């Protein structure tokens, strides 16, 4: 007898929701939520379809599904989508999207006392599931959810509600919001957590992701992020805690391809760091020892957690491009050696190959830039020699030569931004 896949079981359960009473319906949704966690990206996209949201909208209108149950299912869809980094447009293209929008406006316009819980659930679903949002609803949703996140009661239920609220807010990071609508609240949430450790790992990562996205819209946030909230110090501590929770020796085959929540959160931190290094340009003493923490994760992940190691290399690539990161830190804290090892061991043409090449391209370009400061120029030449010797020892020139003919292919396949001139990758002394 053929075993049914997770998405087949999910579809069967969803088709049975219409004829269930509220409690039985909730039980089936709980089963569906568990199945979502087992799905890969293709399976997830196949079941979280426009048709599914259209049918949910019809069931809500016909009183065959309560809003409580609808929220429970939609919020978990959003949770899985965000953790797994899956992009969907199905909710945005369904009638349920407009229904949720209308309900948010109706709740805000109520003259009598508003139902804060329903409003928060609506805002979570809207931000978690929408690839595009209106500025009006964004200015409603972000403050509403930050209000939820400011709750400080010590209970598992509150921690979960705060986590969902901040996860939804992090998905709104792509769009501009007035500073007065979020900054004071975010600072209070972050500083309180630093003192009392009240947030989950995912909640804390989410609030930082949202804040780092803000650098696109407001460069004045740099001082707040670095010198008052201590971004790099906090990331380093969070990464160290998460890496202790990961079983680095367990191979993908043994896990059935499943990735744990701790691993997914760790990857979200590297996404946040990639954005940070691509935007932040000021000097920061907290860089000291930080590159080493990334290198340690890269080496731990190399054998059995390729997705995490790819994120590490991408982050190092962005760090190598950022002039506020000293090249001697990349050398002394092991980044140059670790990426050399990676490029030597690359058995297949993949994103990590591209990231490695870009890492060295960024370093060689920076080392070519002469300076009028005599002492800095002496240091630059010494650094060039040291890196040249390290590369020569690691067989770098042969490795680069072996990839030269496919630079164009890598650019087309992975949007690599690689130079086609092989000499651009060399450090000449």
Is it the case that residue 1 has pLDDT exceeding 60?
no
252 — pLDDT class (breaks 50, 70, 90): low
Which residues, including other chains, have CB under 8 Å from residue 102's CB and lie 6 or more apart?
Answer: none
Distances in whole angstroms, Cα of residue 245 to Cα of each of 113, 120, 257, 271, 304: 44, 31, 18, 19, 15
**What is the per-residue pLDDT for 348?**
63
Residue 15's pLDDT band, with cuts at 50, 70 and 90, is very high
Q: For position 345, what pLDDT does the model report?
A: 78
pLDDT digit string (tens) for 147-206?
999 998 889 999 999 999 999 999 998 898 999 999 999 999 999 999 999 999 999 999
Listed as own residue / partner, the contacts of 388-397 with beta carbons closer than 8 Å and 24 or more positions apart are 388/427, 388/428, 388/429, 390/331, 390/336, 390/337, 390/340, 391/336, 391/340, 391/360, 391/427, 394/337, 394/340, 394/341, 394/344, 395/344, 396/340, 396/343, 396/360, 397/426
pLDDT of residue 305: 92
| 268: pLDDT strictly greater than 90 | yes
Nearest to 313 by CA among 362, 247, 347, 280: 362
Cα distance from N-terminal residue to C-terminal residue, the chain = 67
More confident residue, 393 or 317: 317
Residue 255 has pLDDT above 70, yes or no: no
Report whether 279 contacts 237 (CB < 8 A): no
Instruction: Give the mean model confidence (pLDDT) for residues 402-413.
Output: 85
Average pLDDT over residues 199-221: 93
Total Cβ atoms within 10 A of residue 87 = 8
How confident is the model over 111-151, as pLDDT tens digits?
788 899 999 999 999 999 999 889 999 999 999 999 999 99
CATH of domain 236-248+262-429: 1.25.10.10
Q: Is the pLDDT of residue 258 over 80?
A: no
**pLDDT exceeds 60 at position 22:** yes
pLDDT at 242 (0 to 100): 96
pLDDT value of position 376: 79
Phi-psi region of 251 (alpha: psi -120 to 50; beta: other; left: phi over 0): beta
Residue 229: its pLDDT value, please?
95
Res. 48: pLDDT tops 70: yes
| SS3 of residue 420 by DSSP | coil
The rounded mean pLDDT for the chain is: 91
| pLDDT category of residue 281 using cuts at 50, 70 and 90 | confident
**Token duo for residue 267:** 């990857």
pLDDT beyond 90 at 9: yes
Bigger pLDDT: 376 vs 127: 127
**Residue 99: which pLDDT band, with cuts at 50, 70 and 90?**
very high
Q: Where are the domains of the chain?
A: 1-132, 236-248+262-429
Residues in CB range of 371: below 8 A, 6 or more apart: 377, 380
The pLDDT of 348-352, averaged and rounded, is: 76
pTM beyond cutoff 0.95: no
171 Cβ contact partners less than 8 Å away, ≥ 6 residues apart: 78, 82, 127, 128
In angstroms, rounded to a whole number, what is the distance separating the alpha carbons of residues 293 and 54?
46
What are the two backbone dihedrals, phi and then psi, of residue 65, each rounded to the nearest 5 degrees?
Answer: -145, 130
What does the DSSP assignment read for 165-193?
HHHHHHTTTTS---GGGTHHHHHHHHHHH
Question: Confidence band (pLDDT; 50, 70, 90) for 97?
Answer: very high
- pLDDT of residue 47 exceeding 70, the answer is yes
Residue 67: predicted pLDDT: 95
Q: Locate tokens 């240091």: which residue?
A: 379
- 406 vs 281: which has the higher pLDDT: 406
């Amino acid at each position: 007898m053929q075993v049914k896949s997770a998405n087949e079981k999910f579809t069967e359960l969803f088709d049975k929701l219409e004829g269930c009473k509220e409690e039985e319906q909730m039980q089936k949704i709980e089963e569906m939520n568990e199945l979502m966690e087992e799905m890969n990206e293709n399976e997830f996209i196949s079941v979280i379809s426009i048709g599914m949201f259209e049918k949910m909208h019809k069931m809500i209108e016909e009183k065959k599904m309560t809003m409580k149950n609808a929220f429970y299912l939609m919020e978990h869809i959003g949770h899985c989508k965000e953790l797994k980094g899956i992009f969907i447009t199905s909710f945005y293209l369904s009638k349920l999207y407009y229904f949720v929008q209308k309900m948010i406006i109706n709740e805000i316009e109520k003259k009598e006392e508003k139902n804060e819980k329903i409003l928060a659930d609506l805002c979570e679903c809207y931000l978690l599931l929408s690839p595009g949002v209106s500025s009006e609803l964004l200015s409603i949703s972000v403050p509403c959810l930050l209000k939820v996140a400011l709750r400080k009661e010590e209970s598992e239920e509150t921690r979960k509600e705060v986590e969902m609220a901040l996860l939804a807010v992090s998905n709104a990071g792509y769009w501009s919001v007035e500073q007065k609508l979020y900054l004071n609240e975010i600072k209070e949430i972050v500083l309180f957590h630093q003192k009392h450790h009240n947030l989950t790992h995912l909640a804390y990562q989410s609030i930082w992701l949202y804040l780092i996205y803000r650098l696109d819209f407001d460069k004045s946030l740099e001082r707040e992020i670095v010198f008052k909230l201590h971004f790099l110090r906090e990331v380093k501590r969070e990464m160290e805690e998460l890496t202790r929770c990961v079983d680095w020796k367990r191979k993908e085959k043994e896990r059935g391809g499943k990735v744990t929540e701790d691993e997914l959160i760790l990857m979200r931190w590297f996404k946040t760091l990639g954005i940070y290094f691509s935007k932040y340009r000021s000097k920061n003493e907290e860089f000291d020892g930080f590159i080493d923490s990334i290198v340690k994760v890269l080496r731990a992940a190399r054998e059995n957690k390729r997705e995490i190691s790819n994120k590490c290399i991408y982050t190092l690539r962005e760090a190598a491009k950022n002039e506020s990161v000293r090249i001697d830190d990349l050398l002394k804290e092991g980044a140059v050696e670790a990426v050399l090892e990676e490029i030597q061991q690359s058995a297949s043409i993949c994103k990590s190959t591209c990231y490695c090449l870009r890492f060295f391209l960024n370093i060689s370009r920076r080392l070519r830039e002469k300076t009028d400061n005599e002492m800095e120029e002496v240091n630059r030449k010494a650094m060039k020699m040291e890196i040249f010797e390290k590369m020569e020892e690691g067989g770098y020139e042969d490795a680069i030569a072996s990839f030269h003919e496919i630079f164009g292919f890598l650019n087309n396949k992975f949007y690599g931004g690689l130079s086609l001139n092989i000499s651009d990758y060399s450090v000449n002394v």
